[in-house]
Structure 1
Amino acid sequence: MEQLHWLAVVRHGLSTGNVTAQDAETSGAELIDIPERDADVPLAPAGREQAEAVGRHLAGRRLDLAVVSPYRRTRQTAEIALAGSGVPVVVDERLRDRELGVLDLLTARGVRARLPDEARRRERLGKFYYRPPGGESWADVLLRLRAVLREIREDHPGGRVVLFAHEATVLMVRYLAEHLSEPELMELARGSTIANCSISSWRLTAGRLEPELFNAVDHLHRHDAPPTTQEDVNAEPV
């Protein structure tokens, strides 16, 4: 099957839910007090600024398609980053965040205190296979990611595509693109906090996608971020 020429994943900008969740974890609370359902959580003001920085970084690159999670924070990130670019945008529910089921709105402390049996089951099975009641395991998320990436490759061979999605999506796209094992993915997850509006990307080299950037945030700290190479601006797909 023909590959994409370039694939990138952008995690959404800082959301109001991210801020509330971090405050809850830091304070030792058991519950995260987010009034909206997960799909409706918006960007925080800082998240909108991060999305603008992504837009400056992508400006001038030739992009064939953006595929976006339907969640409000990811749609807002894509809308801000791609404003005026003319890049076609497709919203795909398969890029939604992992569904947590009974663990939703619980901090790590809250899970241990209120659902100790689930905490033990999660510890025994590991993140990859543990499925909370009413939710998804990482393996479940991978099933939908495999499907959407296969369709993108088939519909846009040799294309340059950017995904706007979530923290877990970044890790799992890397798992798929680089053919990682479960232990390799778990080690990566333990050592990496995927930053808001970070960019991870892969470029076609010798017939396969090779890693180019992972969890990169340099573009968030400067006012001008031109394309890395002239190829990004005007080259034809291979």
Structure 2
Amino acid sequence: MDLVSPSLLVLIRHAESARNQAKKGSVYFADDAARQVVRGVPDHLIELTPDGRKQATQTGHGIRERFGTFDYVYTSGYARTEQTAEDILSAYGSDERQQMKVKADLFIRERDPGFAYDMTTAEAEAAFPWLNEYWQTFGGFMARPPGGESLADVTGRVHTFLSDLFRERAGQKVMIVTHAGTLRCFRFLLEGWSYSQAHKWPDGQSPANCGVTTYRSAGAGQPLELVDYNQVYWTVGSATDGI
């Protein structure tokens, strides 16, 4: 991107959510019993688990010690990212919190999962018997879940978000609390990934709940460079894949 970047960009995946816990890293629910706790709750209203709240609080202490205050904190506006940001910021004193502006932006929401959102594996396979072959053909970046978005679609709106961010937050320190799929789109754009790199997370590289990814600029007019990926500052609960 040609615009001047923020001086520091810290991307954080939300803490463990109720759907993370119920799905245990699977694409769909294992059975009806697994989905009962969250069945019928729309994605933007899914909240954190008690362990997730602890993960975020512990992460806040690590972030405050490492980075100090930020100029802006962005969330996707989903309950789980807003709660994560709230708990992270609880590590800061009231005077510090007043210095940081918090803003929700729908461009960094998670990928729309489509019609199979509340389905079990058996239900999804019965409703969409062609889906596995389609997914194998097009891959995890280009393929769209039925009624939903591909990660390539999400990348388009993340690009719009970053363009605005570079224009409005040049030289500032920015924290973004978002989602696993959206993080892959950020990395695709910020690091110039190829389609093959974005196809799927390498084994063991899926972002942890509250995993912290850091980019810094060496100075005015210099691009953001990846410093580290998926740093974890908490010791409670369990890292889980998915949205």
TM-score surpassing 0.5? yes
Q: Deviations over 1:10-31 (max 9, x none)?
A: 1111111111111877994377
Deviations 1:159-192 (A, max 9, x none): 1111001111222211111101011122535542
Larger mean Cα displacement after TM superposition, 51-60 or 145-154: 51-60
CA distance in 2, matches of 1:130, 1:26: 16
Asked if 1:220 corresponds to 2:225, the answer is no
What are the within-5 Å matches in structure 2 for residues 70-219 of structure 1? 70-83=77-90, 84=94, 85-86=97-98, 87-107=100-120, 110-186=123-199, 188-205=201-218, 207-217=222-232, 219=233
The change in CA–CA distance for 1:152 and 1:22 in structure 2 (over 3 A counts) is same
The answer to whether residue 64 in structure 2 is matched with residue 59 in structure 1 is yes
Structure 1 residue 55 displacement after superposition: 1.3
The Cα RMSD (Å) is: 2.3
Asked whether the equivalents of residues 54 and 220 of structure 1 are also in contact (C-alpha less than 8 Å), the reply is yes
TM-score by length of 1: 0.84
Q: Which residue of 1 aligns with 2:239?
A: none
d(CA) in 2 for partners of 1:142 and 1:9? 15
Do the aligned partners of residues 172 and 189 (structure 1) sit closer, same or farther apart at CA in structure 2, a change above 3 Å counting? Answer: farther
* Aligned-residue offset at 1:80: 1.3
Residue by residue over 1:54-107, the C-alpha shift from the partner in whole angstroms, topping out at 9 and shown as x without a partner, is: 211222513110110111011011111113423100111111111011221235
Distance change (3 Å), C-alpha of 1:72 and 1:27: closer
Secondary structure of 1:2 counterpart: coil
SS in 2 for 1:126: helix
1:48 maps to which of 49, 53, 58: 53
Deviation at 1:194, TM superposition (A): 1.2
SS at 1:123 equivalent: helix
* Matched residue type, 1:5: S
Normalised to the residue count of structure 2, the TM-score between the two structures is 0.83
| Structure 2 gap segments, 5+ residues each | 237-243
Q: Which residue of structure 1 aligns with residue 241 of structure 2?
A: none
SS in structure 1 of the partner of residue 22 of structure 2: helix
SS of match in other structure, 2:155: helix
CA distance in 2, matches of 1:107, 1:195: 24
Count the aligned residue pairs.
221
How far off its partner does 1:133 sit?
2.7
Distance (Å, rounded) in 2 between the aligned partners of 1:59 and 1:69: 21
Percent sequence identity over aligned pairs? 28
**Residues of 2 paired with 1:169 and 1:210: CA distance?**
18
Verify the 8 A CA contact 1:24 1:32 in the aligned structure 2: no
